[in-house]
Amino acid sequence: MLKTDPDTWTDPRHREGARAEQLAAGVLSRDGFRIVEQRFRFRRHDIDLVARRGGLVVFVEVKSRNGKQFGSALEAITARKQRELARVAGAWLQRHGRSGDVCRFDVVTVEGARVEWLQSAFRPLWR
């Protein structure tokens, strides 16, 4: 599923992020979603996973933390980050969206061995 092999990456944070994305993809797949895009980039920003189940498109931000030193994974999804994700999602929908698609924004947090999936984590103000 990954475009490149994380084992070849030198930064352990990047390897941990890739592992978290794989865990998140597995959770969504078990719930009937098909992962249609990983790390979709638009300009300088990206969305970790784009998943589809029928006409529902889910844009997923995956956050991983090994401790509480920098706050929880969910706290990292600031208003600014939400605006960036909405912008990237809009670009994805223009390129790949289908008539009648409904979308939502989810967050999957990975903290140690604990994986949590927050559905409809936020609703962007579309411009």
For domain 9-122, is the CATH number 3.40.50.11440?
no
Percent of all residues in the chain with a pLDDT value above 70, rounded to a whole number: 80
Three-state DSSP class for 58?
strand
Question: Is residue 9 scored above 60 in pLDDT?
Answer: no
pLDDT, average across residues 64-88: 80
Residue 105 near residue 48, CB atoms below 8 Å: no
pLDDT, tens digit, for every residue of 84-111?
Answer: 999 999 999 999 999 999 999 999 998 8
Three-state DSSP class for 23?
helix
Residue 125 near residue 79, CB atoms below 8 Å: no
Instruction: Select from 86, 89, 18, 20 the least CA-distant residue to 51.
Output: 89
The mean of the pLDDT values for the chain is 86
Question: Is residue 15 scored above 60 in pLDDT?
Answer: yes
pTM of the model: 0.85
The whole-angstrom separation of Cα 104 and Cα 62 is 14
